[in-house]
Amino acid sequence: MISQTHRHQSILSKLSKESFVNVLQLCKELNVSSVTIRKDLKLLEDRELLFRTHGGATAHNPYTVDRPVNEKEKLQSNEKMRIGARASRLIQPNDSIIIASGTTVLAFARSIQMKENFTAVTSSLPITMELIKRSNVEVLQLGGSIRKSSSSVIGPYSQKILEDFLCSKVFLGVDGIDLEFGLTTTDMSEAYLNRKMIEVSQKLVVLSDSTKFGKRGFGRICGLEEIDEVITDSNVSDHFVNKLEAMGIIVTVV
């Protein structure tokens, strides 16, 4: 039987390459039981070398915390601008789109160069303030209670308004993309509103920098099967790209 030390080295080596390890896959590769692997992961977590998750482990803390929008805007700002610029190419003349809240979709709104007319529905106050500067954009600001940390609206009133719309695309920013738990945000009310946005849109485009992969927020938005396209930066792990593409999701890396 492979020694415990060798198993631990193998697990950590795999984590350094893929950022995530699966219990069942480790059982096959190391020829040991799932009980043994789970004990190994517990020991490694106790030594603060990994974080256990459902069905495996990750190299990074998978749980996100809520931060003010002005703080988040400074994080991965260059990556967000590249993601936003690429996403802006998906808008068509006379399009009707939904833009959710968050700093990555705000970067998307700032990147829009199209001169033709289109309509944008948004829950985000900063995005509204950005788009009303443009004469070719018809802006519909959703109403409701203000979530101060994201400067966006939430609640049943904003969800009710969306029932009257049908849009071609929703551009969604998230706090976490987990291969098992799906798309998440740190606020349950925002997650409910995001679900409604997806329901009334024909295509879901997720805009996310690579630091969100393998993360989980408190509120689950939807499963990965709902996604049509993900736009992210070049630091994303090949492991995540391969898994998403195997599900038929378009992954655009910028």
- Tens of pLDDT, residue by residue over 217-252, are 889 999 999 999 999 999 998 989 999 999 999 999
Per residue in 142-189, pLDDT (tens digit) is 999 999 888 999 999 999 999 999 999 999 999 999 988 999 998 999
Cβ atoms of 153 and 126 within 8 Å: the answer is: no
Domain ranges of the chain: 4-58, 69-253
* Segment 123-146, tens digit of pLDDT: 999 999 999 999 999 999 999 999
Distance CA 189, CA 122 (A): 15
pTM of the shown model: 0.76
The CA R_g of the chain, rounded to the nearest whole Å, is 20
Place of tokens 């979530």: 147
Residues 69-253, CATH architecture = 3-Layer(aba) Sandwich (3.40)
Tens of pLDDT along 87-134? Answer: 999 999 999 999 999 999 999 999 999 999 999 999 999 999 999 999
4-58 has CATH 3.40.1280.10 classification? no
pLDDT at position 109 is 97
Distance CA 83, CA 41 (A): 35
Span of 58-67, 99-108, 179-188, 206-215 with lowest mean pLDDT: 58-67
Give the residue ranges of DSSP H helices in the chain: 4-18, 23-30, 34-46, 69-72, 77-88, 103-111, 125-131, 156-162, 188-199, 238-246
For residue 27, what pLDDT is reported? Answer: 93
Topology match between the domains 4-58 and 69-253: no
Q: Give the Cβ contact number of residue 225 at 10 Å.
A: 9
Residue 42 has pLDDT above 60, yes or no: yes
